[in-house]
Structure 1
Amino acid sequence: MVSTLKELIDKSFLKNKDRLFLEIKVGLKIRRYTYGEIDILSRKAARLLARKKIKKGDKVLIWGMNSPEWAIAWIACLRTGIVSVPVDFRTTIETAKKFAGQTKPKLFFVSKYLHAYEDRAIFLEDLIPALENEEIGENGDVKPNDLAEIVFTSGTTGNPKGVMLSQKNILASVLTMRANFSTSPRMRALSIMPLSHILEQVVGLLIPISNGASIAYLQRVNSATIIEGIRRHKATAIIVVPRILALMLQAVERRVEREGKTAQYKIMIAISKVIPSRKARRILFRKIHAAFGGKLDVFVCGGAPLETRIGLAWETMGFRVIQGYGSTETSGLTAINVAGPQRMEYAGKLPENAKVEISADGEVLVKGDFVSKGYWNDEEKTKVSFDRGWYKTGDMGKLDKKWLKLMGREKFRIVLSDGRKIYPEDIETKLGNHPDIKACCIVPIIRNGEKVVYASILTDKKGRIDEIIKEANKTLESAQQISYYGLWEGEDFPRTRTLKVDREAVEKIISDKNIKEKSGASSSDSLIQILSRISRIPASRINEKTNIVTGLKLDSLGRIELISQIEEEMGVVIEESKIGPQSNVAQIRKLCKAGEPYEPIKRSEWARSLPAKIARIILQSILFQYHSLFIRLKVRGKENLKKAGRPCIFYLNHIGTFDVFCALRVMSVSDKNRVIVAATSEIWRDHKIYAFWFELLVGAVPIDREGIRLRDSLEYIGEKIDEGYSLIIFPEGKVSKDGKMGEFMKGVGLIATELELEAVP
Structure 2
Amino acid sequence: TPMFNAAAKNPSTLLDRARPRWGGGRVGEVIDRVKTTVDRVEEITRETKEAFELFRPFTIENAYVFRSDNIRSLFERIIKDEQSLLIWNPEKFDWYDYWINIHLPGLKKWVFPTLEEDMRAQPKRVYTYRDLLELFETSTKRHATRVAMRLERDGRKEQYTYADVRELATRAAAFLASEGIKPGARVMLFSHNAPEWGMTYFGALKAGASCIPVDPESSTDEIINFARAGDAAAIILSRKLDQEHSNLRQRLADEGLKLHVWTFDDVFALPDEETEDQRIALLPMKVQAQSVASLIFTSGTTGNPKGVMLSHRNLTSMVSMLSSVFDMSTRDGVLSVLPLHHTFEFSTGFLTPLSRGAQITYLPELTSDALARAIKNGHVTGMVGVPALWELLHRRIKTRLYERSDWIGKTADLLIKANAWVREQTPLNLGPFVFYPIHEGLGGRIRYFISGGSALNEKIQQDFQGLGFTILEGYGLTEASPVLTVTRPESRMLTGSVGKPLPGVQVKIAEPDVNGVGEVIARGPNVMLGYYDNEEATRSTLIERWLHTGDLGKLDDDGNLYLVGRSKEIIVDTNGKNVYPDELEEVYSNSPYVKELSIVGLPDGLGEKVACLVVADDDYDISLSRADLRRRVEEHFRDVSASLPYFKRVKVLHFTDIELPRTATRKVKRREVLAIMEGLEQSQKVTKASGGSEAARSELRWIIDIVATVSNRPRSEVSQDTRLADLGFDSLMLVELATAIENAGGAISAPERFNEVQDVRELMSVVGRRSATASRKEERARTEERVDSDEIYVPSFVRVAGNVAGDVLQRLFYDKFLKTRYEGQSNIPVHTNFIVAPNHSSHLDMGLTKMALGEAGKDLVALAAADYFFDNKYKRAVMENFTNLVPIERTGSLRQSLRHARSFLNRGYNAVIFPEGTRSLTGKMADFKPVVGYLALASRVGILPVYLVGTHEAMPKGSNIIKNREVGARIGGFLAIEELEEMTKGMARAEAYRLIAARVKHDVENLRDQTRHFFDAKALRSRWKAERRAQIAQKEEVGELVT
Per the normalisation by structure 2, the TM-score is 0.56
TM superposition shift of 1:389 = 1.7
The reply to whether residue 184 of structure 1 matches residue 325 of structure 2 is no
Aligned equivalents of 1:508, 1:540: Cα separation in 2: 25
User: Are the counterparts in 2 of residues 3 and 144 from structure 1 also a CA contact under 8 Å?
Assistant: yes
Structure 1 counterpart of 2:205, from 78, 87, 95: 78
Aligned equivalents of 2:308, 2:872: Cα separation in 1: 63
Aligned equivalents of 1:163, 1:411: Cα separation in 2: 17
The reply to whether residue 348 of structure 1 matches residue 348 of structure 2 is no
Aligned equivalents of 2:729, 2:482: Cα separation in 1: 28
- Residue matched to 1:455: 612
- Residue matched to 2:184: 57
TM superposition shift of 1:370 = 0.7
- Residue matched to 1:283: 433
Aligned equivalents of 1:252, 1:316: Cα separation in 2: 13
Counterpart of 2:148 in 1: which secondary structure?
strand
The reply to whether residue 496 of structure 1 matches residue 663 of structure 2 is yes
Cα 1:533/1:444, change in 2 over 3 Å: farther
TM superposition shift of 1:453 = 2.3
**Which AA in structure 1 matches 2:454?**
A
Structure 2 counterpart of 1:435, from 592, 603, 610: 592
Cα 1:284/1:589, change in 2 over 3 Å: farther
Greater relative contact order (Cα < 8 A, sep 6+): 1
Cα 1:578/1:159, change in 2 over 3 Å: closer
- Residue matched to 1:154: 299
The reply to whether residue 95 of structure 1 matches residue 95 of structure 2 is no
- Residue matched to 2:158: 31
The reply to whether residue 474 of structure 1 matches residue 639 of structure 2 is yes
TM superposition shift of 1:112 = 2.4
TM superposition shift of 1:393 = 0.8
**Which AA in structure 2 matches 1:293?**
G
The reply to whether residue 230 of structure 1 matches residue 371 of structure 2 is no
TM superposition shift of 1:528 = 6.2
Structure 1: stretches of 5+ with no match in the other structure: 608-619, 635-650, 657-678, 732-745, 755-761
Cα 1:711/1:393, change in 2 over 3 Å: closer
Counterpart of 2:533 in 1: which secondary structure?
coil
The reply to whether residue 265 of structure 1 matches residue 412 of structure 2 is yes
TM superposition shift of 1:467 = 4.0
Cα 1:488/1:556, change in 2 over 3 Å: closer
Counterpart of 2:438 in 1: which secondary structure?
helix
Structure 2 counterpart of 1:413, from 554, 566, 570: 570
TM superposition shift of 1:561 = 4.5
Cα 1:22/1:445, change in 2 over 3 Å: same
Cα 1:706/1:154, change in 2 over 3 Å: closer
- Residue matched to 1:18: 145
Counterpart of 1:230 in 2: which secondary structure?
helix
Structure 1 counterpart of 2:454, from 294, 300, 304: 304
CA RMSD of aligned residues (A): 4.9
**Which AA in structure 1 matches 2:510?**
S
- Residue matched to 1:483: 651
In terms of mean alpha carbon deviation, does 64-73 or 10-19 score higher?
64-73
Counterpart of 2:594 in 1: which secondary structure?
coil
TM superposition shift of 1:707 = 5.7
Aligned equivalents of 2:485, 2:216: Cα separation in 1: 27
TM superposition shift of 1:715 = 6.2
Aligned equivalents of 1:377, 1:57: Cα separation in 2: 15
The reply to whether residue 368 of structure 1 matches residue 524 of structure 2 is yes
User: Are the counterparts in 2 of residues 222 and 564 from structure 1 also a CA contact under 8 Å?
Assistant: no
Structure 2: stretches of 5+ with no match in the other structure: 1-126, 251-259, 513-517, 619-625, 788-792, 808-863, 913-930, 940-1043
User: Are the counterparts in 1 of residues 172 and 199 from structure 2 also a CA contact under 8 Å?
Assistant: yes
**Which AA in structure 1 matches 2:138?**
K
The reply to whether residue 169 of structure 1 matches residue 314 of structure 2 is yes
TM superposition shift of 1:202 = 0.7
Aligned equivalents of 1:474, 1:534: Cα separation in 2: 27
Aligned equivalents of 1:506, 1:706: Cα separation in 2: 51
Cα 1:188/1:573, change in 2 over 3 Å: farther
Aligned equivalents of 1:270, 1:503: Cα separation in 2: 40
**Which AA in structure 2 matches 1:398?**
K
**Which AA in structure 2 matches 1:344?**
T
User: Are the counterparts in 2 of residues 152 and 163 from structure 1 also a CA contact under 8 Å?
Assistant: yes
**Which AA in structure 1 matches 2:186?**
K
User: Are the counterparts in 2 of residues 172 and 369 from structure 1 also a CA contact under 8 Å?
Assistant: yes
- Residue matched to 1:250: 395
- Residue matched to 2:172: 45
Cα 1:534/1:714, change in 2 over 3 Å: closer
The reply to whether residue 566 of structure 1 matches residue 717 of structure 2 is no
Cα 1:580/1:366, change in 2 over 3 Å: closer
**Which AA in structure 2 matches 1:504?**
R
Cα 1:483/1:519, change in 2 over 3 Å: farther
In terms of mean alpha carbon deviation, does 141-150 or 70-79 score higher?
70-79
- Residue matched to 1:274: 421
TM superposition shift of 1:473 = 4.6
- Residue matched to 1:135: 276
User: Are the counterparts in 2 of residues 312 and 341 from structure 1 also a CA contact under 8 Å?
Assistant: no
User: Are the counterparts in 1 of residues 554 and 561 from structure 2 also a CA contact under 8 Å?
Assistant: yes
User: Are the counterparts in 1 of residues 395 and 710 from structure 2 also a CA contact under 8 Å?
Assistant: no
User: Are the counterparts in 2 of residues 85 and 149 from structure 1 also a CA contact under 8 Å?
Assistant: yes
Per the normalisation by structure 1, the TM-score is 0.75
Cα 1:407/1:554, change in 2 over 3 Å: closer
In terms of mean alpha carbon deviation, does 353-362 or 473-482 score higher?
473-482
In terms of mean alpha carbon deviation, does 369-378 or 276-285 score higher?
276-285
Cα 1:440/1:716, change in 2 over 3 Å: closer
TM superposition shift of 1:347 = 1.5
User: Are the counterparts in 2 of residues 208 and 214 from structure 1 also a CA contact under 8 Å?
Assistant: yes
Structure 2 counterpart of 1:325, from 472, 475, 481: 475
TM superposition shift of 1:171 = 1.2
**Which AA in structure 2 matches 1:53?**
G
Aligned equivalents of 2:405, 2:744: Cα separation in 1: 14
Alpha-carbon deviations, 1:595-634, whole Å to 9, x = none?
9979999999xx9xxxxxxxxxxxx9xx99xx99xx9x99
TM superposition shift of 1:555 = 9.0
Aligned equivalents of 1:536, 1:97: Cα separation in 2: 39
User: Are the counterparts in 2 of residues 420 and 479 from structure 1 also a CA contact under 8 Å?
Assistant: yes
Aligned equivalents of 2:711, 2:188: Cα separation in 1: 30
Cα 1:510/1:398, change in 2 over 3 Å: same
User: Are the counterparts in 2 of residues 190 and 238 from structure 1 also a CA contact under 8 Å?
Assistant: yes
- Residue matched to 2:834: none
Aligned pairs (5 A) from 1:482-631: 482-488=650-656, 490-493=658-661, 495-508=662-675, 510-511=677-678, 515-517=682-684, 519-520=688-689, 521=691, 524=696, 525=700, 526-527=702-703, 560-570=735-745, 572=747, 589=765, 592-593=768-769
**Which AA in structure 1 matches 2:192?**
M
Counterpart of 1:65 in 2: which secondary structure?
coil
TM superposition shift of 1:195 = 0.7
TM superposition shift of 1:314 = 1.4
| Percent identity of equivalent pairs | 25
Aligned equivalents of 1:34, 1:539: Cα separation in 2: 50
Alpha-carbon deviations, 1:298-322, whole Å to 9, x = none?
2111111212222222121111112
Aligned equivalents of 1:716, 1:387: Cα separation in 2: 57
**Which AA in structure 2 matches 1:135?**
E
In terms of mean alpha carbon deviation, does 173-182 or 283-292 score higher?
283-292
TM superposition shift of 1:712 = 4.5
**Which AA in structure 2 matches 1:501?**
V
**Which AA in structure 2 matches 1:115?**
H
The reply to whether residue 704 of structure 1 matches residue 887 of structure 2 is yes
Counterpart of 2:430 in 1: which secondary structure?
helix
TM superposition shift of 1:416 = 0.8
Counterpart of 1:515 in 2: which secondary structure?
helix
Aligned equivalents of 2:678, 2:729: Cα separation in 1: 28
Aligned equivalents of 1:593, 1:513: Cα separation in 2: 34
Aligned equivalents of 1:284, 1:574: Cα separation in 2: 42
The reply to whether residue 203 of structure 1 matches residue 348 of structure 2 is yes
